[in-house]
Structure 1
Amino acid sequence: MRVLVVASEAYPLVKTGGLADVAGALPAALCRLGVDARILLPAYPGVLAKVADPGVAHGLGDILGVGPSRLIEARMPDSGVPVWLLDCPTLFDRPGGPYQRPDGSEHPDNGLRFALLSRVAALLGSGEALANWSADIVHASDWQTGLVPAYLKLAGRQVPRTVFTIHNLHFAGLFGPDFVASAGLPPHAFSIDGVEFNGLVSTLKAGLFYADRLTTVSPTYAWEVTTPEGGRGLDGLLSGRARAGEFSGILNGVDYALWDPAKDPDIAAAYGPDTVAEGKARCKAALQREMGLDERPDAPVLGLVSRFSDQKGIDLVAGAAARLIEAGAQLAVLGSGDWALEQQFLQLSRRYAGSIAMQTAYDEALSHRIQAASDFFLVPSRFEPCGLTQLYALRYGALPIVRRTGGLADTVRDMSDEGTGTGFLFDSPSVEGLLSAFYRALALYARPDALHYARQRAMAQDFGWHRAAEAYVDLYEQTLRG
């Protein structure tokens, strides 16, 4: 089976969020199962700089009237999975990140940039781009590559088949009606039975409507988005596809080669389930020194690594901060995003110096050290399609404190049952809801033996990519059978 995974980011070449982790790790796991999985990724300047030995470049010509482009053969630095880098200097050779300019504003031509990526994925998958390779399945994700299934279906192609994954329904990829012509779509595609959504083009809806199969990244989120409360206007389409057996939830996995406290080079002391207490104590002391927290071995450390947004419930942590500190806890925070939330946390870190420490510049190694040092890890999201940080926290014995939603509900078992619990869940998206879970965690922290066993249970959870990859292979096979 030949599978092309097309994405706007893939770790370790480029990352802004969880999509990159999935796009980098899933193909590697598929390859381990014998699948010929390959990746298509834009050739951003930072990506080209990380590729050691780029191979043959295949000219593609000027596909959407944006200038010449080409496909550069390369391999992922960590896994060796084959990757094609789409090099189109007019669209991708520019400062800033994948989606934003250096000043934080969006690239004004994002629609066209990712339409080209999607068009090339369709050409590559169908065998029109290269003579020596085509795909059985093209696997696209989110608004950036939602046009892949549209290009293939509107051209009348039955092969390759397409799978489209929703990582976050919040981002709809909205563009004006004139985008239909710019993207090279036929005029009739701009309809309710097509890419039209509330009078605009939605590249996310394009993927949801035209793909052969849909997935999202947890079973609970798959149900939530079929409801009016969670579907953001697309619940009718999604519930119809679910009733037809064409929409399901598959939990993301964790790359335990990267996230394993027993062999993590970025943390102060390696540890396993039997040495978690000693290892965490050393990691806690090192992080307290690094981030300027008071060196208090008895203080429960709460970790928070997140994008700062309303979705993530960061305001709940800010609202609870004073009472968390009054209870003796410390907060180690790594995150950025919403300016007002950033400023609120910076003020809190000054007001409670020694008890709250914050860094806004993302640092992958520091995120590992926070997981290793934390006694508890906060994920208070209002909605969370899957979440990865709580999965990392489980493996590092940092018991998650999470809201009962999406993938958080699917991956964390509440400590109300001390024989099986792995964390603390709360229902109300409120400061009081978060504090109720925290106070339960604090009570466990006062019982060292019970805490130790809870950490061991958490660390024993297996959310490795092998399980997710097997589920995707089953889905691909079903899709090929029609």
Structure 2
Amino acid sequence: MKNILFIASEGVPFIKTGGLADVVGSLPKGIDKEYYDVRVILPKYNCMHQDKKDMLHYRDHFYMEFNWKNEYVGILEAEYDGIKYYFIDNEYYFNGFKPYCDNALFEIEKFAFFSKAALSILPVIGFRPDLIHCHDWQTGLIPVYLHERFAGGEFYRGIKTVMTIHNLKFQGKWSIKEVQSITGLPDYYFAPDKLEAYKDANLLKGGLVYADAITTVSPTYAEEIKTPFYGEGLDGLLRARSNDLRGILNGIDYDAFNPETDPYITNRYNAVNFRKEKIKNKRALQADMGLEQNDKTMLIGIVSRLTDQKGFDLIAYMMDELCQDNVQIIVLGTGEERYENMFRHFAWKYNGKVSAQIYYSEELSHRIYAASDAFLMPSLFEPCGLSQLMSLRYGTVPIVRETGGLKDTVWPYNEFEGTGTGFSFTNYNAHEMLATIRYAEQIYYDKKREWNKIIDRAMAADFSWNVSAQKYQEMYDWLIGR
């Protein structure tokens, strides 16, 4: 039996702000229990829902020296879906209304505390991992601390680490002087070949330097981040470590996202009967969202954070022209004010044609995946992306830009070979995006049988966690064995 420990800043079902939580909640369940004992450590945030807090039981507590004082470290535990979770409790650090705040220095202090505490509780809970799987910059100090502070003890010797990059844009950067004071790491670690990057301390960089292996969430993104355009200033380091870097696609939970059993959608359907049954979801959504009632009009769905990364500048540029076509657009999400207002404006201007839902709702997101004919995702960069996987699962044809995980998961339609599960374009260009949407419209309106075959192939694709978990297991075995 091999012991694997996940350490992360969020995880479903306890706390979620993005795709990271889905991975941390789903991947451990996919890993073979016969050979691996997988456990997870998360912070105990005060903003967790009460029903989740009620699942936790007190295990122990102690005081740990951190940032020039003794800090309380409480340990709580819970079991969920056969996985054991531990939570680190500290009122000062985890008391906010949200998991993360806008104060970058406090975030660095909070997750430095979390990283040190996560390693410190291991002898207390009596779990010695063979490998620690760290996620994003919030846990970047774990490989560093293992190398420095915890290296002496017999208990910690030989523990391997994997660092997974979910989004390279976020790195945990601050001035060396303050980070050194908070972490207690000696000068030695703040050199350009370790934690220092462009005169600042960089927590993610520390994790990437000291981890035994690095993964990211799609094979294409693993290649992209070795280039200056996608590398966010760390492309040199990632090229240097390219032998230890691999891309493994995220999956989605095929139980939670299943049009045959989904409790959120109006009418359930499957790969066999979607031709008759899927349309009922569209009718209900059109009625509820104030869109013109018409079975035949192509409905394009968007569920996203409204940010530059997601390609909304392209959409803003082309929205007027797109609305001249015989299409309807529904968008769900929040983000940058200018994009929120842009969609509100077009929903007013093209009333009955555009619906802007500027908030977030899990239920409505499922309804949009089930009701839409196509799903638009023209991202500037996309480490993996989960929305296109959900739309494939629901037989909603994705229209994406070929970047990161989008390129790896959506196979472009080829009318000559009769292949493909969606539509894609290569360059980050608004006219190219519009041309691709119009090509999709043409197939939708003029070649309905072809369109339905695209849906057949989309719904037959397998992006469940089982496939990805297998690849992670191979990597764990390779690391632990060597």
Please state which band the TM-score falls in when normalised by the shorter chain.
over 0.9
Match of 1:74 among 72, 75, 78: 78
What CA deviation, in whole Å up to 9, does each residue of 1:443-477 have, x standing for no partner?
11112211111101000000110111111111011
The alpha-carbon deviation at position 368 of structure 1 amounts to: 0.6
C-alpha contact 1:13 1:46 (8 A) present in aligned 2: no
The alpha-carbon deviation at position 32 of structure 1 amounts to: 4.7
Q: Aligned-pair RMSD on alpha carbons? A: 1.6
1:153 paired to 2:152: no
Matches within 5 A, 1:297-316: 297-316=295-314
**Shift in CA distance, 269/421, structure 1 to aligned 2, threshold 3 Å:** same
Letter in 1 for 2:254: Y
| Residue of structure 2 in register with 1:431 after alignment | 430
| Residue of structure 1 in register with 2:26 after alignment | 25
| Residue of structure 1 in register with 2:17 after alignment | 16
Match of 2:275 among 268, 272, 277: 277
| Residue of structure 2 in register with 1:128 after alignment | 123
| Residue of structure 2 in register with 1:56 after alignment | 58
Name the stretch that deviates more: 15-24 or 319-328: 319-328
Q: In the aligned structure 2, how far is the partner of 1:136 from the partner of 1:18?
A: 26
Letter in 2 for 1:437: T
Q: In the aligned structure 2, how far is the partner of 1:241 from the partner of 1:33?
A: 32
Number of matched pairs: 470
C-alpha contact 1:150 1:207 (8 A) present in aligned 2: yes
Letter in 1 for 2:139: T
Q: In the aligned structure 1, how far is the partner of 2:32 from the partner of 2:93?
A: 31
What are structure 2's unaligned runs of at least 5 residues?
A: none
| Residue of structure 2 in register with 1:289 after alignment | 287
Matches within 5 A, 1:235-384: 235-242=235-242, 245-384=243-382
C-alpha contact 1:6 1:121 (8 A) present in aligned 2: yes
| Residue of structure 1 in register with 2:479 after alignment | 479
Q: In the aligned structure 1, how far is the partner of 2:16 from the partner of 2:479?
A: 29
TM-score (norm 2): 0.94
Letter in 2 for 1:282: K
SS in structure 2 of the partner of residue 62 of structure 1: strand
Name the stretch that deviates more: 293-302 or 45-54: 45-54
Match of 1:93 among 92, 95, 118: 95
The alpha-carbon deviation at position 48 of structure 1 amounts to: 6.0
The alpha-carbon deviation at position 63 of structure 1 amounts to: 3.8
1:412 paired to 2:410: yes
SS in structure 2 of the partner of residue 435 of structure 1: helix
The alpha-carbon deviation at position 33 of structure 1 amounts to: 5.8
Letter in 2 for 1:432: H
C-alpha contact 2:212 2:244 (8 A) present in aligned 1: yes
SS in structure 1 of the partner of residue 241 of structure 2: helix
**Shift in CA distance, 297/63, structure 1 to aligned 2, threshold 3 Å:** farther
C-alpha contact 1:268 1:369 (8 A) present in aligned 2: yes
The alpha-carbon deviation at position 441 of structure 1 amounts to: 0.6
The alpha-carbon deviation at position 66 of structure 1 amounts to: 6.6
Q: In the aligned structure 1, how far is the partner of 2:105 from the partner of 2:295?
A: 50
Q: In the aligned structure 1, how far is the partner of 2:70 from the partner of 2:362?
A: 35
SS in structure 1 of the partner of residue 71 of structure 2: coil
What CA deviation, in whole Å up to 9, does each residue of 1:150-200 have, x standing for no partner?
110123354311000011111111111121220222221111121111111
C-alpha contact 1:3 1:36 (8 A) present in aligned 2: yes
The alpha-carbon deviation at position 139 of structure 1 amounts to: 0.5
| Residue of structure 1 in register with 2:116 after alignment | 119
SS in structure 2 of the partner of residue 307 of structure 1: coil
The alpha-carbon deviation at position 107 of structure 1 amounts to: 6.3
Matches within 5 A, 1:196-215: 196-215=196-215
The alpha-carbon deviation at position 436 of structure 1 amounts to: 1.2
The alpha-carbon deviation at position 34 of structure 1 amounts to: 4.1
| Residue of structure 2 in register with 1:40 after alignment | 41
C-alpha contact 2:47 2:99 (8 A) present in aligned 1: no
The alpha-carbon deviation at position 237 of structure 1 amounts to: 0.9
**Shift in CA distance, 129/197, structure 1 to aligned 2, threshold 3 Å:** farther
Q: In the aligned structure 2, how far is the partner of 1:357 from the partner of 1:250?
A: 35
C-alpha contact 2:5 2:131 (8 A) present in aligned 1: yes
C-alpha contact 1:120 1:129 (8 A) present in aligned 2: no
The alpha-carbon deviation at position 38 of structure 1 amounts to: 1.0
What CA deviation, in whole Å up to 9, does each residue of 1:233-270 have, x standing for no partner?
2111111111xx21110011111010110111100111
Letter in 2 for 1:110: E
Letter in 2 for 1:171: F
What CA deviation, in whole Å up to 9, does each residue of 1:286-306 have, x standing for no partner?
111222211121111111111
Matches within 5 A, 1:421-460: 421-446=420-445, 447-460=447-460
TM-score (norm 1): 0.94
Letter in 1 for 2:161: T
Letter in 2 for 1:145: T
C-alpha contact 2:47 2:95 (8 A) present in aligned 1: no
Letter in 2 for 1:454: I
| Residue of structure 2 in register with 1:193 after alignment | 193
**Shift in CA distance, 287/61, structure 1 to aligned 2, threshold 3 Å:** same
Q: In the aligned structure 1, how far is the partner of 2:352 from the partner of 2:34?
A: 48
Q: In the aligned structure 2, how far is the partner of 1:129 from the partner of 1:324?
A: 60
Q: In the aligned structure 1, how far is the partner of 2:86 from the partner of 2:49?
A: 11
Q: In the aligned structure 1, how far is the partner of 2:15 from the partner of 2:70?
A: 23
**Shift in CA distance, 277/307, structure 1 to aligned 2, threshold 3 Å:** same
C-alpha contact 2:64 2:117 (8 A) present in aligned 1: no
1:143 paired to 2:137: yes
C-alpha contact 1:311 1:381 (8 A) present in aligned 2: yes
**Shift in CA distance, 215/450, structure 1 to aligned 2, threshold 3 Å:** same
**Shift in CA distance, 82/276, structure 1 to aligned 2, threshold 3 Å:** same
Q: In the aligned structure 2, how far is the partner of 1:136 from the partner of 1:354?
A: 57
Q: Percent identity?
A: 40
Q: In the aligned structure 1, how far is the partner of 2:62 from the partner of 2:294?
A: 60
Letter in 2 for 1:262: E
**Shift in CA distance, 113/285, structure 1 to aligned 2, threshold 3 Å:** same
